[in-house]
Structure 1
């Protein structure tokens, strides 16, 4: 192993300080660099194309840089929140308090739809109530660290904080309602019959260097997996930014259009992407006059109610329980969209 590869683990604090400084300098240089590159291209006679190209040249490195930074940091944070530790924290919690804790843990844990079934089974075996488990499974994809960081970087603290508060509210209230409905009987029989096991105490002995390794591993796994979605999302966003008239988006997805929020949810559910891929589209839609609540409802439906995740969860939940889950979460997202449109 080369000295360059060993140095970050041997001197993690120095590495993190230098990396943060380089990240900040690079991020600040993206806008003038995108402008300079666009001005060098022979497209000045086509303003729409120039706007689309500038959007792509600026947003591609910006989103990938934000994504890499937050995945690196959260990969280190996630080393404190393994699946077993999460089960330990939630096992034995009462409803209400447990729903709040589960939703908050969902923000900082690295689980996605592909891990929904094994995670769900582990929670059931640890004795975590169904409503609390679903609060976690709603919050984990919908109010994740990538969505929050990208929203903060693109739209500022106010939008990110509102999204966090309302997204958590959806996860907490939806899980609490499902818990109150006592729908454990609508789990698949093989899940109900599994023997419960004790959630043992988990000891943490990782060093900062090992947590840094966990951050690098997260970057390789997550960024390596989602970058094609990011590029596709930015290409779509560039097309919207350059070629879609502002008055068209204002009419279709503006706050005055009463149908815009339910329509956005209906469009979003069949789609399959992630926060990193959808947020460039969100940015372009907002720039063209779409209402913030409508666009966020679209984003939340894509990443919290994706059809692939429902298909995966069908392995452990009956159709009736999935329908209840979808109905409650959809209602919550609808209210979030309407509230955003009303207050902003």
Structure 2
């Protein structure tokens, strides 16, 4: 057998191996999402249609809450009880994509600073339906595979902002006006802000994509590489995640203060709630009962609309989780964009809702 034939057979073998890895990742992701997201959300959509509710506010009774260690632990228990399955899935997928998905494929579709890469990543986020913290490990994994800033951001932000299940719940529980407002600003954040974030990266286009797409030979067994990836992810992501959730749980009464009737729909309230919503951490769709509760106690539609946009988009824990994966200028731009769009949405909501 000639050396050419041997090389050809080796290449075919590697291609089949790569294909099996991709299929394995897709099957694991689909099975995990079916168990953690798709089936539970199908049942919850039926519940929301019949009861016009998806549960009580995760913030609890703020009038009785005080900043304390007990308050921090109580919120953390409720929060992690709701998200732990999705958090585990996010870490699993974030580590697996680094060892299962070929770098050439990811770079071909998601490696450029063009709007096309951003759009593909944003659309790929739709079936994920994760909160910003659970999607963060996957965004970290994408950046480790040299996916462009815009594409990684679009996937990270798109998961919570254009979540189809949340939009369905919102329509049944709040109104179609809330849903439309959320969709418009969600699309702006997912595709517009993510695409513009590429401009804050020094090496936006000088990177030679073709050269980067040359697959590096994997060192070590698959299990060893995955354990290394998962271990690194756990050590980096989990501590910051837990500590920041405790911090926000303790201070939630300060972030969401009770407002008198005159201030309940003021511009200052919209700004306050936009900033608080950007910082605070919630499970997927938890903004709906939070907004429902605030509206019932007299908070105006303006601050409620601000929360509609900023609560799910990002949070302090998710920002800490991705802090080493994105340039600081990019994260500052994202934070400012979320707050500004939250304020704009609050002003629009004040007059439209």
What range is the shorter-chain TM-score in?
0.5 to 0.7
Look up the match of 2:142: 122
Provide the C-alpha distance between the structure 1 equivalents of 2:282 and 2:324, rounded to a whole number of angstroms: 21
Match of 2:314 in 1: 305
| Structure 1 gaps, min length 5 | 1-19, 32-66, 76-81, 186-194, 200-228
Structure 2 residue 95 is matched with structure 1 residue 113: no
* 1:87/1:22 CA distance change after superposition, 3 Å: closer
Residues 250, 140 of structure 1: alpha-carbon distance in 2 compared, 3 angstrom cutoff: farther
SS of the equivalent of 2:262 reads helix
The structural deviation recorded for 1:87 is: 4.5
Is 1:316 paired with 2:336? no
1:292 matched to which residue of 2?
A: 301
How high is the TM-score relative to the length of structure 2?
Answer: 0.51
Q: How does 1:268-279 map to 2 (within 5 A)?
A: 268-279=277-288
- Please give the alpha-carbon distance, in whole angstroms, between the structure 1 residues aligned to 2:124 and 2:267: 34
Q: Secondary structure at the match of 1:102?
A: helix
1:316–1:288 Cα change, 3 Å: same
Q: Which residue number corresponds to residue 166 of structure 1?
A: 185
- Two-structure CA RMSD over aligned residues (Å): 4.5
CA distance in 2, matches of 1:132, 1:121: 12
1:252 aligns with 2:263: yes
- Equivalent residues of 1:265, 1:301 under 8 A apart: yes
Distance 1:198 1:300, change over 3 A: farther
Q: CA shift at 1:30, angstroms? A: 5.0
Q: Distance in 1 between matches of 2:45 and 2:158?
A: 29
Q: Does the aligned pair in 2 maintain the 1:249–1:288 contact within 8 Å?
A: no
Retained in 1: the 8 A contact 2:48–2:173?
no
Match of 2:117 in 1: 98
- Choose the corresponding residue for 1:175, options 176, 194, 200: 194
- Is the 2:269–2:303 Cα contact (8 Å) retained in structure 1? yes
> What is the TM-score when the length of structure 1 is the normalising length?
0.53
Deviations 1:302-336 (A, max 9, x none): 32221101111123234343223212232222222
Distance in 2 between the 1:172 and 1:290 partners? 30
CA distance in 2, matches of 1:277, 1:157: 17
CA 1:158–1:93 in structure 2 vs 1: closer, same or farther (change >3 Å)?
farther
Q: Deviations over 1:266-316 (max 9, x none)?
A: 222332212433321201222334333421322432322211011111232
Shift of 1:93: 5.9
Among 316, 321, 325, the residue aligned to 2:334 = 325
